[in-house]
A and B are shown apart, each in its own frame.
Chain A
Amino acid sequence: MATPDRMPLVEPIAIVDYGAGNLRSVQKAFEHLGHQAVFTSDPADLKNAPAIIFPGQGASPPAMTALKRDGMADAVCDAVASGTPFFGVCLGLQLLLEHSEEGNVGCLGIVPGTVRGFSDAGIDEGLKVPHMGWNSVKFRGTHSVFKGIPEDSYFYFVHSYFADLTDDSWVEGSTAYGLDFTSVVAKGNVVATQFHPEKSGNIGLKLYDNFVKHLVLKRV
């Protein structure tokens, strides 16, 4: 179990709330690690946040509609560009891409690529969709947040769409489910996982702890 061995952050981590799914578990995971984390749908809050968590479940189109309506889409892009440590989870990874085939919607465009559906990707018909359960990740190990994560670790996934990147330099990890898809995106201050660290037991908590240790505390 990862335990906090440092002073907590002065400002709370911002969890972007755009009406999507279960955000409490993300908050509880950071609280368990000794870090205060608050929900926000106010773009102004992202300017001062020491870090931004961008979780999400459900479908891309209503998520993008909500993000644009609240002005959060631009605020997220601005914060990422300004170097704020950023952790996207599940839909929060997919929305970083340029476009999603789920509802044919434009996304944030931070990471080059398109979100595609497993059902349309020509995978074995015997494979169930959603891809639900524990799967392993082949890490490149180039980003500091993923150092020390054992190669055979399993993480909890629930999704029907996956990120298809056109710029390989963003790919930090991949997972096999009918095909190899990008399950971890990382570059500089931006980290995102298709799986749910807050639902992946101790190894998932360690990932959030690494994020705080290597990206957030080094910056503030």
Chain B
Amino acid sequence: MLTKRIIPCLDVNAGRVVKGVSFVDLRDAGDPVEMAAFYDREGADELVFLDITASSDNRDTIIDVVKRVSEKVFIPLTVGGGVRTSGDVRNLLNAGADKVSMNTAAVITPSAFAEAADAFGCQCMVVAIDARRTQQGGALAPADLLPAGHPGKDEIAINPDSIWEVFVHGGRTPTGIDAVKWARYMAELGAGEVLLTSMDADGHKDGYDLELTRIISDAIHIPVIASGGAGSPSHLADALDGGENGGHADAALAASIFHFGHFSIAETKQELVKRNLLMREAHD
């Protein structure tokens, strides 16, 4: 039987791992290669690297990080952050990434995402979605960010019934796109997986946005990684839980609780097994 996946996320800035609280207040949590090897030994099922390097001068540092990590760590690596073109995807795959996630570029130029999915296969293309709850009853600007003639403009725009809006540029820019419709649209366009972050929950350690996770997991046929809000193993269990109130996610991503040693991957998995979730045990 297929197991649920536990994925530590390493935010990388200029070659070092950091983690923000609601996208600000970055704290240094270590060297990417050391941390990746550590998580592999601990039984992480996969690793996600998000390159949050702002300066374009340092963009190549993530390629070097991926190269070094993939020489030592033999579990799947997903890399995202600042990926714009299918050429960027190729460079990361050639460096040793197994999957590449696109966020802002997928919104602005979905054709670049589709091109990469065609060239390298859907299995390596992840769409990262940063979603925030809309104000009750107050619809946001309709798809302002998208140019006229954007292929999905009518199909994906928010309306007064929308619950979550897609944000881009690291959570700074609202798009006018309904997050659920966007997930469906991207699954059709060739995404192999969704990395779904609740901006409302992220950094608060109060648990994932289970309603968001559940609705999107149920709406699409590709796997969903829940992200944002993990503060304890039981939060991960909730996100993966297939019951009425669970998140129905296929994988759960977390950063701070692992990086700062609050919980190990192994003890997290033990908690999840108690909740009848199937977990992989690593063999030496």
| A interface residues, Cβ below 8 angstroms from B | 1, 21-22, 24-25, 28-29, 32, 57-59, 119, 128-136, 150, 152-154, 156-160, 176-177, 198-205
Contacts and interface: CB of A to CB of B under 8 A. Distances in A.
Contacts of A202: 74, 282-284
A202 B282 CA distance: 8
Given A32-B71, A201-B283, A202-B284, 6 more contacts: A22-B93, A28-B96, A57-B120, A133-B5, A154-B3, A201-B75
A132 B192 contact: yes
A36 B230 CA distance: 42
B2 A201 contact: no
B163 interface: no
A154 to B, nearest CB: 4
Interface string B41-80: 0000100000000000000000000000011001110000
B283 A203 contact: yes
Contacts of B281: 152, 154
Contact of A128 (B70, B94, B221): B221
B249 to A, nearest CB: 10
A147 to B, nearest CB: 15
B251 interface: yes
5 contacts: A1-B284, A21-B120, A25-B74, A58-B121, A159-B123
Contacts of B122: 130, 160
Contacts of A29: 74
Contacts of B93: 21-22
A152 B124 CA distance: 27
A199 B73 CA distance: 8
B45 to A, nearest CB: 6
Contacts of B71: 28, 32
Contacts of A21: 93, 120-121, 124
Contacts of A150: 283
B209 interface: no
Contacts of B76: 156, 158, 199
Interface of B: 1-5, 40, 45, 70-71, 74-76, 93-98, 120-124, 192-193, 221-223, 250-251, 280-284
B121 A129 contact: no
A179 to B, nearest CB: 12
Main secondary structure, interface of B, reads: loop
A25 B193 contact: no
Nearest to A154: B280
Contacts of B283: 150, 153, 201-203
B120 A25 contact: no
A152 B3 CA distance: 12
A160 B122 CA distance: 10
Given A133-B45, A136-B1, A57 B124 contact: yes
Given A28-B96, A128-B222, A59 B250 contact: no
Contact of A177 (B2, B5, B120, B222): B2
Most buried by B among A28, A59, A131, A205: A28
A128 B282 contact: no
Most buried by B among A133, A156, A202: A133
Given A21-B93, A57-B121, A128 B74 contact: no
Nearest to B218: A126
B222 A129 contact: yes
Given A57-B124, A130-B122, A203-B283, A198 B221 contact: no
Nearest to A204: B74
Contact of B74 (A157, A159, A176, A198): A198
Nearest to B92: A22
B113 to A, nearest CB: 16
Contacts of B4: 133
B76 to A, nearest CB: 5
Contacts of A157: 2
Most buried by A among B5, B71, B124, B280: B280
Nearest to B40: A201
Contacts of B223: 128, 130, 132-133
A130 B222 contact: yes
A203 B94 CA distance: 24
B284 A25 contact: no
A160 B93 CA distance: 20
A131 B223 CA distance: 8
Contacts of B120: 21, 57-58
Contacts of A132: 123, 192-193, 223, 250
